[in-house]
Amino acid sequence: MSPDEARRRPPTAQQFVLGELRRAITTGRLRPGAPIRQDALAEELQVSRVPLREALKTLQGEGLVTYEAHRGYFVETLSLDDLREVYRIRELLEEEAVRRAVPRLTDDDLARLEAAQDDVERAAAAGDVAAMAAANRAFHMMLFDCSGMPRLVRLIRTLWDSTDAYRSMYYGEPGNRERVIKEHRATLDALRRRSADDAVATLDVHRAHAVTALAPLLDT
């Protein structure tokens, strides 16, 4: 493990706060719908409100929080419909990314994808949910990056961010962890065969499973 992985505090306070806020929201420490009290949060994070507000603006752009002038920021609530909408949009965008990526895949890319998959499996074996979520994300983003469409990838990444909280729940179930591994292997196989259709199909299944697994958790 490289020494850089000992979590270095980012070079600016806003980036540090951004990371902390993301975690707080996606782990549910900041409840959906709750107002974000800047003074309290700033004190808790040991920064002033200025970098905090800049981080909040970023999150607003990503749809994790909402903003009303003179009333402040609120944690976005994700309804089941919202989740379905996000996954539908992901389906559209990720299909495009994969179709563009497949013909451009080098052997080197494939090797890196396989290494990424190894990371996922290791994390799963260790039962480390957070590590598995991170590795899973890395695997997918690596594939999307091969599309050569940076803006598309950025959009997809933002959509992933907005549902991170729920993805962690998903990986909490050992059965789901098993399934994810199998699905990734199917995707890798399709990629090796350079079959965009198959790769898209396996990813669609992958996503659909996640939605059906998460739906019951969102009926509250």
Partner DNA sequence: TCTCCGTATTTTGGATCCAATATTGAAAAT
Partner DNA sequence: ATTTTCAATATTGGATCCAAAATACGGAGA
Give the residues lining the site for a copy of itself (CB under 8 A). 11-12, 15, 50, 53-54, 57-58, 60-63, 69-70, 82, 85-86, 88-89, 92-93, 96, 149-152, 154-155
Whole-angstrom distance, CA of residue 122 vs CA of residue 125: 5
What is the binding site for DNA (CB under 7 A)?
11-14, 35-39, 47-51, 53-54, 67, 69-73
Place of tokens 């199909």: 201
Least distance from DNA to the Cβ atom of residue 50, Å = 4
**Which one, 90 or 177, has the nearer CB to a copy of itself?**
90
CB half-sphere exposure, 64, CA atoms < 13 A: 29
Q: Which is nearer to DNA, 55 or 143 (CB)?
A: 55
Tell me how far, at minimum, the Cβ of 85 lies from a copy of itself, in Å. 5
Q: Are 59 and 139 in contact (CB under 8 A)?
A: no
Are 170 and 213 spatial neighbours (Cβ–Cβ below 8 Å)?
Answer: yes
Minimum CB–partner distance for residue 149 and a copy of itself (Å): 5
> How many Å apart are CA 131 and CA 111, to the nearest integer?
21
C-beta separation of 6 from 43 below 8 A: no
Closer residue to DNA, CB minimum distance, 16 or 171? 16
**How many whole angstroms from its chain centre is CA 46?**
27
How far apart are CB 18 and DNA at their closest, in Å? 10
| Integer Cα distance of 202 and 136 in angstroms | 15
Partner touching 58 among a copy of itself, DNA, none, CB below 5 to 8 Å by kind: a copy of itself
Of 202, 171, 176, give the one whose Cα is nearest residue 187. 202
Q: What, of DNA, a copy of itself, none, does residue 37 touch, CB below 5 to 8 Å by kind? A: DNA
Instruction: Identify what 168 binds: a copy of itself, DNA, none; CB under 5 to 8 Å per kind.
Output: none
Choose among DNA, a copy of itself, none what residue 152 binds, the Cβ cut-off being 5 to 8 Å by kind: a copy of itself
C-beta of 2: minimal distance to DNA in Å? 21
Q: How far apart are CA 77 and CA 65, in angstroms?
A: 8
**Whose Cβ is closer to a copy of itself: residue 99's or residue 137's?**
99
What's the burial of 90, exposed, middle or buried (CB within 10 Å: 0-12/13-18/19+)? buried
Q: Residue 35 binds which entry of a copy of itself, DNA, none, with Cβ cut-offs from 5 to 8 Å by kind?
A: DNA
Chain mean position to CA 57: 19
